[in-house]
């Protein structure tokens, strides 16, 4: 079975001071001039109203860039990062 979608990775939190950071993987395909977000099986993802998550490309827009923005805006398991552990750099003693 061939893959009928492309994959993009977005950075949610960059690596820093021993923290590996957090990335998210997203998948999309281009149908005519429209980007459609899909799941791991290539099935279009739907929003809460049951409509496909898609975006009509404008002339000159890059499909990978727009797909990454769509993935970021529609993360399926996105949780608030407010209560995460804060990692402070080791600056030595004062």
The per-residue pLDDT for range 2-14, each reduced to its tens digit, is 578 999 999 988 8
In the chain, where the domains are located: 6-73
Chain segment 26-80, per-residue pLDDT in tens: 999 999 999 999 998 999 999 889 999 999 999 999 999 999 999 988 876 665 5
Global pTM? Answer: 0.74
In sequence order, the 6+-apart residues with CB closer than 8 A to the CB of 61 are none
Question: CA-to-CA distance for 30 and 34, rounded, in angstroms?
Answer: 6
């Amino acid at each position: 079975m061939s893959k009928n979608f492309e994959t993009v990775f977005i950075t949610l939190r960059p690596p820093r001071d021993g923290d590996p950071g957090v990335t998210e993987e997203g998948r999309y395909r281009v149908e005519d001039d429209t980007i459609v977000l899909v799941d791991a099986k290539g099935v279009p993802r739907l929003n809460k109203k049951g409509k496909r998550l898609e975006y009509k490309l404008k002339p000159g827009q890059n499909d990978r860039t727009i797909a990454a923005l769509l993935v970021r805006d529609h993360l399926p398991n996105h949780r608030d990062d407010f209560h995460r552990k804060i990692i402070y750099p080791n600056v030595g003693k004062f």
